[in-house]
């Protein structure tokens, strides 16, 4: 593929709630950019980016798919991400390496729960984005309500850049509010008929959106401000430049409208990607853990992040984003976390499952390395100028199942299969039940685990039987305590001696362990204090209240004693572990359970039944909203009470209700509530 200047590269992800139309939009983008000759359809199982058999069978995106295409002499690296909350790690690691994003909204449903989740993820990574309001060909679609929800639910500053037009109830085109043109479509991939518009002839509704657009542009361009105040026309190129500045600064979110399925509004959307989203050179330099920086410069030393690993019949494929320098076939690179030097094998750019061989990937590009043993989340750098970029953090799992190999051959193949699956999906975890010896597979939800079990059989040839899902409970402290522990051991050789006094108390949610050394005068040397912390972490992993791991505690090392000969790091680690166990038992330990955020969409007549069922499940209703002709019940309920909810809701709403569950955090288990057992 021909080389492209840095300022003409766009790395973006398509992110949204499940069923908003991301994959259909990606198919149309591939068609319009000439990568494919006919668009596949999700409902037919023919979408090019949903190439995995499970994706085709279930009609949902499970794995993020990377595609490379060109539009208006720009190279677009695009990642189509899953919309289901169980596969949030795919969105997280995609946003980690992307420069911009297109957030897709269902024009009927508006801002949905997973929309809020992916929006927060984009905020965390400071990714500029634009919005595409999709499915405006459907009854009940309301782009104005979508703009209002972007403001009220996401805190965004939306600016419409295109607006839909209708003939009766039929979506016929869009008005380009920047260029002041009307694009008329016939429902096929045929280019639209473009008609210039007179600003003075716009309807009141379109005039208000145009004025809002000029207002935002004027905030970033004094020439536009002067033209607006004087009543002079404003050049479209100047508006785009000013809106681009506002988008990159996070001051505005451009909003395009249309229907991907009906081929309406896609050219203006692709133009907006090129005109308004950042190039790699527009993004700040990446910063290593030691403070070293790398700007997007192809002449700089290599810095690349291996952000995803996949395995297939051909071996390992490692997705990489090159931030600086050049990654070339056959070159030696340093892997920061593995601490070794490897030689790069074949390099490819991807169009879903198709692979296009290349000799090099330059700064700003996304591609993949084949047949090279790399670790997901590792940094590849010049051995002479090493750098370690921040790793990708996977969320902690909230549910697990016991799995049992079906045959002896399956038992022998299972460890390697699980190792590969966890390398490919770090949000999966494997542990062993201390009481039963069973292998436990933990993940982000029941669908996540069901898919993982199916992938074990389909991709790795390992058949397993799985038990009922079990909740991943945690424990913490409701009170405080102080304890002194003496660890003294003499057995005929070198002894062990350590005395520690610790104070423990609850910490804020998601704080983990907050450990402080408050000793004075060197009574506990620093290496021994670090050993006490390791012992505390061991004790937290042991768990409380039935063995549930401990989270969110503060531990202060107050005092201690040492022996000139018998004290050691091991002795203080043992003492720290024992001291924590004893102190925690006196600090009112409690069990925490994962709580889910539930949003149910149903008919008005079914609201009472849905609300009553939430109450029976120990849930709390947070609010009732109106969305078109439907009603939306927002609630929180324990994960333990959500199993089997799909069937229950279908019975309550005569098959017409739909729901979304996503993690909301942890909360104490009420007294008398039964823990969910296998």
Q: What is the dihedral of CA 64, 89, 450, 46, to 10 degrees?
A: -10
Q: Answer yes or no: are the C-beta atoms of 610 and 657 closer than 8 Å.
A: yes
CA–CA separation, 56 and 46 (whole Å): 7
Q: Is 482 exposed, middle or buried (0-12, 13-18, 19+ CB in 10 A)?
A: middle
Length of the chain: 678
CATH of 479-587, one of 3.40.1280.10, 3.30.230.10, 3.30.470.20, 3.40.1190.20: 3.30.230.10
> Which residues have CB under 8 Å from 420's CB, separation 6+?
311, 460
Residue with the two structure tokens 């509530």: 673
Q: Which CATH architecture does the domain made up of 286-381 adopt?
A: Beta Barrel (2.40)
All CATH 2.40.30.10 domain ranges in the chain, comma separated: 286-381
CA–CA separation, 344 and 538 (whole Å): 38
All CATH 3.30.70.870 domain ranges in the chain, comma separated: 399-472
Can you list the pairs that 611-615 forms with residues at least 24 positions away whose Cβ atoms lie under 8 Å? 613/648, 613/649, 613/652
Q: For the chain, which ranges sit under pLDDT 70?
A: 1-2, 36-64, 83-86, 352-353, 434-435, 491-493, 676-678
CATH of 6-282, one of 3.40.50.300, 3.90.550.10, 3.40.640.10, 3.40.50.1860: 3.40.50.300
Instruction: For the domain covering 592-668, report its CATH number.
Output: 3.30.70.240
Q: What three-state secondary structure class fits 367?
A: strand
Q: Answer yes or no: are the C-beta atoms of 587 and 581 closer than 8 Å.
A: no
What number of helices (H) and strands (E) belong to the chain? 15, 37
Looking at residue 158, its pLDDT comes to 96
Looking at residue 572, its pLDDT comes to 96
Tokens of 440: 């436990």
Query: For the chain, first and last CA: distance in Å?
Result: 54
All CATH 3.30.230.10 domain ranges in the chain, comma separated: 479-587
Tokens of 175: 């008005």
| Vertex 46: Cα angle to 41 and 52 (nearest 5) | 125
Q: Tens digit of pLDDT for each residue in 374-402?
A: 888 889 999 999 999 988 888 788 888 88
**Exposure string over 452-463, b if 16+ CB within 10 A, otherwise e:** bbebbeebbebe
> Which residues have CB under 8 Å from 668's CB, separation 6+?
478, 590, 591, 592, 593
Q: What three-state secondary structure class fits 501?
A: strand
CATH of 399-472, one of 3.30.70.870, 2.102.10.10, 3.40.50.11930, 3.40.720.10: 3.30.70.870
**Exposure string over 118-144, b if 16+ CB within 10 A, otherwise e:** bbebbeeeebbbbbbbbbbbbeebbbe
Q: What is the dihedral of CA 646, 94, 414, 450, to 10 degrees?
A: 10
All CATH 3.30.70.240 domain ranges in the chain, comma separated: 592-668
All CATH 3.40.50.300 domain ranges in the chain, comma separated: 6-282
- Longest Cα–Cα distance of the chain, Å, equals 99
In this structure, how many other beta carbons lie within 10 angstroms of the beta carbon of residue 620?
Answer: 11
List phi, psi (to 5°) of 503.
-120, 130
DSSP result, 78-133? EEE---SGGGHHHHHHHHHH-SEEEEEEETTTBS-HHHHHHHHHHHHTT--EEEEE
DSSP result, 165-203? EEETTEEEEEEETTTTEEEE--SSSSPPEEEE--GGGS-
Can you list the pairs that 120-126 forms with residues at least 24 positions away whose Cβ atoms lie under 8 Å? 121/15, 121/88, 121/91, 121/92, 121/95, 122/15, 122/95, 124/95, 125/95, 125/96, 125/98, 126/250
CA–CA separation, 262 and 140 (whole Å): 16
CA–CA separation, 366 and 79 (whole Å): 10
């Amino acid at each position: 593929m021909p080389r492209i200047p840095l300022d003409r590269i766009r790395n973006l992800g398509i992110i949204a709630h499940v069923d908003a139309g991301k994959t259909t939009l990606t198919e149309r983008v591939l068609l319009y950019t000439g990568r494919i000759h006919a668009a596949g359809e999700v409902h037919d199982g023919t979408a090019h980016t949903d190439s995995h058999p499970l994706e085709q069978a279930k009609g949902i995106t499970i794995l993020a798919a990377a595609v490379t295409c060109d539009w208006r002499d720009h190279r677009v690296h695009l990642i189509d991400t899953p919309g289901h909350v169980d596969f949030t790690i795919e969105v997280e690691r995609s946003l980690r390496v992307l420069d911009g994003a297109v957030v897709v909204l269902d024009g009927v449903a508006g801002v949905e729960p997973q929309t809020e989740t992916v929006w927060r993820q984009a905020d965390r990574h400071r990714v500029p984005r634009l919005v595409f309001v999709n499915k405006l060909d459907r009854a009940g679609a309301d782009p104005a309500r979508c703009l209002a929800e972007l403001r009220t639910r996401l805190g965004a500053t939306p600016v419409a850049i295109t607006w839909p037009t209708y003939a009766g109830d039929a979506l016929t085109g869009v008005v380009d509010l920047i260029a002041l043109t009307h694009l008329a479509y016939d429902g096929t991939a045929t280019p639209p008929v473009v008609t210039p518009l007179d600003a003075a002839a716009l309807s009141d509704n379109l005039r208000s959106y145009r004025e809002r657009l000029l207002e935002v542009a004027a905030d970033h361009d004094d020439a536009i401000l002067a033209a607006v105040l004087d009543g002079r026309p404003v050049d479209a190129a100047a508006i785009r430049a000013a809106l681009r500045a506002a988008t990159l600064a996070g001051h505005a979110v451009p909003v395009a409208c249309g229907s991907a399925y009906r081929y309406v509004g896609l050219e203006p959307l692709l133009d907006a990607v090129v005109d308004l989203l950042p190039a790699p050179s527009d993004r700040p330099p990446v910063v290593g853990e030691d403070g070293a920086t790398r700007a997007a410069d192809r002449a700089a030393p290599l810095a690349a992040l291996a952000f995803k690993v996949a395995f297939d019949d051909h071996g390992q494929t490692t997705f990489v984003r090159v931030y600086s320098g050049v990654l070339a076939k056959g070159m030696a690179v340093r892997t920061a976390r593995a601490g070794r030097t490897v030689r790069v094998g074949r390099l490819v750019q991807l169009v879903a499952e198709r692979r296009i061989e290349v000799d090099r990937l330059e700064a700003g590009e996304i591609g993949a390395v084949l047949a090279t043993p790399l670790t997901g989340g590792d940094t590849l750098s010049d051995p002479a100028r090493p750098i370690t970029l921040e790793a990708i953090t996977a969320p902690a799992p909230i549910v697990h199942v016991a799995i049992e190999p079906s045959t002896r051959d399956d038992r022998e193949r299972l460890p390697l299969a699980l190792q590969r699956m966890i390398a490919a999906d770090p949000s999966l975890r494997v542990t062993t039940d201390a009481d039963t010896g069973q292998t436990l597979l933990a993940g982000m939800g029941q669908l996540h685990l069901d898919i993982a079990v199916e992938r074990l059989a389909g991709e790795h040839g390992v058949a397993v039987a799985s038990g009922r899902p079990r909740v991943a409970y945690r424990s913490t402290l409701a009170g405080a305590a102080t304890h002194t522990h003496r660890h003294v051991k003499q057995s005929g050789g070198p002894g062990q001696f350590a005395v520690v006094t610790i104070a423990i108390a609850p910490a804020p949610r998601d704080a983990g362990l907050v450990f402080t050394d408050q000793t004075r005068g060197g009574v506990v040397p620093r290496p021994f204090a670090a050993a006490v912390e390791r012992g505390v972490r061991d004790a937290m992993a042991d768990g409380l209240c039935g063995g549930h791991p401990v989270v969110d505690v503060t531990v202060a090392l107050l005092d201690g004693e040492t022996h000139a000969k018998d004290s050691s790091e091991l002795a203080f680690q043992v003492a720290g572990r024992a001291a924590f166990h004893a102190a925690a038992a006196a600090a009112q330990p409690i069990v925490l359970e994962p709580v889910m955020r539930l949003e149910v969409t149903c008919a008005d007549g079914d609201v009472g039944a849905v609300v009553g069922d939430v109450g029976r499940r120990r849930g709390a209703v947070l609010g009732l909203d109106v969305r078109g002709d439907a009603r939306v019940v927002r609630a929180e309920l324990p994960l333990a009470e959500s199993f089997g909810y799909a069937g229950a809701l279908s019975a309550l709403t005569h098959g017409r209700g739909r729901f979304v569950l996503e993690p909301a955090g942890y909360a104490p288990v009420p007294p008398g509530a039964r823990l969910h057992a296998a």
